[in-house]
Amino acid sequence: MTREEFEELVAEALDRIPPELTRLMDNVAVFVEDEPDPGDPELLGLYEGTPLTDRGEWYAGVLPDRITIYRGPTLRMCESREDVVAETEITVVHEIAHHFGIDDARLHALGYG
C-alpha cells in the first residue's frame, strides 16, 4: 500500500469520528509517518501533547498536540487491505482518545488497545 493510500485511510478514519467529538478536539494535528522510533519498531500510533483533561488556565500559546500514525508497522502486522483499514481506524480512535485524556487501560477495556 502506498503512502498516499495509507494517508487516505487515516483521513477516512478521522472522517468517521462523530462531529460532536471532533468539535471538542482542540489544538491537535494528525500526521502519517512511515516508521516509529527504532526503539519501538512495532508502535502503530503516538499521541504527544497535553490531554484536554490536563489543560488549565496556563494552557495558551503552545504548539499543537501531535498524533502520529505509523504506516510501516501497521502494514507489517496486517494480512489484508481490510485488516489495514480496521487497524488504522482503531489506531486513530486510540490516539484521539489519549487527546481526550483516556488512558491505555480504559482503551484496552473498550477494545481499542
> Is 54 inside any structural domain?
no
Determine the structural domain holding residue 73 and report its residue range.
1-49+61-108
Q: Does the predicted TM-score (pTM) go above 0.75? A: yes
> Is 55 inside any structural domain?
no
**Which residues lie across from 33 on neighbouring strands?**
70
Say how many domains are in the chain. Answer: 1
Q: What share of the chain is helix, strand, coil (3-state, %, to 5)?
A: 45, 15, 40
* CA-based max dimension of the chain: 46
> Is 73 inside any structural domain?
yes
Using DSSP, state whether 29 is helix, strand or coil: strand
Q: List the chain pLDDT tens, one digit each, 113 residues.
A: 999 999 999 999 999 999 888 888 888 999 999 999 999 999 999 999 999 888 888 888 888 999 999 999 999 999 999 999 999 999 999 999 999 899 889 888 887 76
Gap between the terminal Cα atoms of the chain: 23
**Which residues lie across from 29 on neighbouring strands?**
66
